[in-house]
Structure 1
């Protein structure tokens, strides 16, 4: 009878040890399967949403080009050329996400993103309408006139967009998007995420 009790006790202890070992092994395997939180893991997660972190500023503008030949400060007659153009354009502003500075300190993740800049600026060629074109046989309108005009107009519109707060808005959107993106990532649910410029 005593032998049977000892056998049952040893069996129960053995089963408990097997159960505890199994449980600990499963927890270890589960933690081994979870990727380590590193700056490259976070960086890759952010880079996957690169297109989201861009602001598109669309506009319609009208501009005037005028040119006349001068001779010693005097306007040369019949050399005036000019045109008025309307067109639509799109300015894309955002952040170069390749230059993120990510620091992990315990359960705190600090991400410093560069300041926003203009990434692209396109004028829709189909939207261009030319009005009031005045040409001169002595000073004809050339393709370079249109190219120079387009370049000047782009610079003017970019300055105007920046003055209206385009880059500040892009900075705020970038920070909010990165925070929202990382807060939905299950592995980071216990971390405090701070994004700054």
Structure 2
């Protein structure tokens, strides 16, 4: 079918009277047409399937969040202009707004130590301290309830930065008070048992989890960070 169409088109083109330029153009058209039709004939019944294999393998887990808490905090920035330590009437600013965020806690799996007693079928898991891994404020969750600006007291980037630091600190304190670290620890134990169950059957082995204290340098680092 394709050969008949190709022959008919070529006969028509060859029967046309053209000048030198026309012959060149005609030749190019014929070449492109032949290539197009031949390509269709060759690949018409060919099915092309592409496949890509992604990297697959196991890596060290490192720090793993085992508990997340979501918060919504309302903050206020309010102050007055001062002169010689005294408030200046009518020159003040007031911003009331809220942010949402998520706070995550977990452990550093790389610091877990295992003691396996095959004779007594006991596994002792030495756990590093649970800690807060991140506290993220969702920038697009900002809701402004009140905004009183003052040209003499513009809102500066420093003000916003300090307010967010206070927000994060308050969120962490509330999350810890509501059991974030304890829940993260419990979930970590469940995950560890799941990881080890492929090698050490839960029905045969007894699991014991023991807390380990960080080294002096790490404690000093955490204390200064806090």
| Aligned-partner Cα distance in 1 for 2:63–2:171 | 25
SS at match of 2:89: coil
The corresponding residue for 2:183 is: 169
How many residue pairs get aligned? The number is 150
Q: Deviations over 1:143-166 (max 9, x none)?
A: 221111111111011101111111
Contact 1:79 1:137 in 2 (8 A): no
Contact 2:103 2:135 in 1 (8 A): yes
1:90 aligns with 2:102: yes
| TM-score, normalising length: structure 1 | 0.68
Contact 1:95 1:114 in 2 (8 A): yes
The corresponding residue for 2:169 is: 155
Give the structure with the higher percent helix.
Answer: 1
1:127 aligns with 2:152: no
| Aligned-partner Cα distance in 2 for 1:177–1:196 | 15
Relative contact order, higher structure (CA 8 A, sep 6+): 1
The corresponding residue for 2:30 is: none
1:56 aligns with 2:91: no
When residues 100 and 156 of structure 1 are mapped into structure 2, their CA distance, relative to the original with a 3 A threshold, is same
Instruction: Quote the offset at 1:192 in angstroms.
Output: 2.8
Between 1:157-166 and 1:103-112, the stretch displaced more is: 103-112
Instruction: Quote the offset at 1:93 in angstroms.
Output: 0.6
Point out the structure with max Rg over C-alpha: 2
- Out of 108, 113, 121, the residue aligned to residue 101 of structure 1 is 113
SS at match of 2:129: coil
| TM-score, normalising length: structure 2 | 0.60
When residues 73 and 48 of structure 1 are mapped into structure 2, their CA distance, relative to the original with a 3 A threshold, is closer
When residues 120 and 98 of structure 1 are mapped into structure 2, their CA distance, relative to the original with a 3 A threshold, is same
Q: Deviations over 1:141-194 (max 9, x none)?
A: 1122111111111101110111111111111111122123322x0x31243332
- Give unmatched runs, 5+ long, in structure 1: 1-44
Runs of 4+ in 1 over 6 A off after TM superposition: none
1:138 aligns with 2:152: yes
